[in-house]
Amino acid sequence: MSEPSRDKRLWLVVPAAGRGRRMGAERPKQYLTLAGHPVLVQTLARLHQAFPEARLCLCLDPDDAYFDPAWVPFGEWRRSPGGAERVDSVRQALAALADEAHVDDLVLVHDVARPCVTVADLRRLLANLREDAAGGLLATPAADTMKRDDGHGSVARTESRRGLWHAQTPQGFRYGLLCRALDAARARGLEVTDEASAVEALGLSPRLVPGRRDNIKITHPEDLALAAHILAAQREESPPTQANEESV
Ligand SMILES: Nc1ccn([C@@H]2O[C@H](COP(=O)(O)OP(=O)(O)OP(=O)(O)O)[C@@H](O)[C@H]2O)c(=O)n1
Ligand SMILES: C[C@](O)(CO)[C@H](O)COP(=O)(O)O
C-alpha cells in the first residue's frame, strides 16, 4: 500500500556544535552575547521570523554545557549530536530526521554563527529553491582583488575574481539529494566545507542566490562587534513592523 501523500515540509538544520577555536573566547561563540542575547538566540529568532512553521534540527555538542532549550522559538524541534567537522554534524542531523523527512522535503542548512541573515534574504532564497532541482545558496560576488600566497607570506600571483562568489548560508536542497551528496562525498574522501560543494561533486549546479554582504559568519574576535553594529543598522533600516523585526 502506498503512503498517503502530504505537503512538502521545510526543515531547518542549524549546525551549532562548533568550538569556536578561532574566536578564542571562554565559551563557544554561539553562546557569546550579541545585542543582549546569545548569538544562537539571535540566529534562531531570524529563522523563526522567516519560517515560523518550519521544523528545526539543532546540532549540539553532546557535552554542551551552555544550551538552554527555553531559547528555541520553534514548536517542532529536536537536537542531534554534533560530529567532528561541520559536515559530520549536518549529516547526523539529516539522519535524525530520517523517520519523518521525505526525499522531496526542502532542507535549509544555516550556520548558527550567521545571526545577521535577514528575513527578506531567507524568504527570497526559499522562493528560488522551490524552482531549482539542484538547490541553491545565498552568496555574494567577490569584491576585492584576490591574491594567492606562496606559502611563505608573500604573493605568488593575483587570481581573477571574475565569476568568484563567497558562499554563505542558508544552503538549501531536497532532503534526498542532500543525503546522497554528503554520503557520496564521504565515500570519495572529498573535503566538504559547505553542502553545495557536495552537491556540485555529483555534477549538479546549485543556484547562486545573491544575498546581502552583511550576512557575516562570526569567526574571529572582531566579528562580534561587527555583528552588533550590523544588527543595529538593520533595525534602523527596517521599522519594527517590517521583515527584519527583532523578536528578541
Ligand atoms: N564540528 C562542528 C564544527 C562546526 N559546526 C558549526 O558549523 C558552523 C560553521 O563553523 P565555524 O564557523 O568554523 O565554527 P567553529 O567550528 O565553532 O569555529 P572554529 O573553526 O574557529 O573552531 C558553526 O555554526 C559551527 O557551530 C558544527 O556544528 N560542528
Ligand atoms: C558553510 C560556510 O558558512 C560557507 O561559507 C563555511 O564554509 C563554514 O565555515 P567553516 O569555517 O568552513 O566551517
Beta-carbon neighbour count of residue 33 at 10 Å? 12
- Condensed to tens digits (0 to 9), the pLDDT of residues 218-237 reads 999 999 999 999 999 999 99
For residue 4, give every residue at least 6 positions away whose Cβ sits within 8 Å of its Cβ, in sequence order, or none: none
* pTM score, whole prediction: 0.95
Q: Which CATH class is domain 10-138+166-237?
A: alpha beta
| 174-214 tens-digit pLDDT | 999 999 999 999 999 999 999 999 999 999 999 999 999 99
ipTM above 0.90, yes or no: yes
CA angle 56, 178, 68 (to 5 degrees): 20
CA of 193 to the centre of ligand 2 (A): 6
The verdict on the CB of residue 195 being under 6 Å from ligand 2 is: no
Span from the CA of 85 to the centroid of ligand 1 (angstroms): 7
- Cβ 13 vs Cβ 94: under 8 Å: yes
Length of the chain: 248
- DSSP 8-state assignment for residue 65: S
Sign of the CA dihedral with 77 first, then 79, 83, and 85 last: positive
Whole-angstrom distance, CA of residue 248 vs CA of residue 246? 6
* Domain ranges within the chain, ordered by starting residue: 10-138+166-237
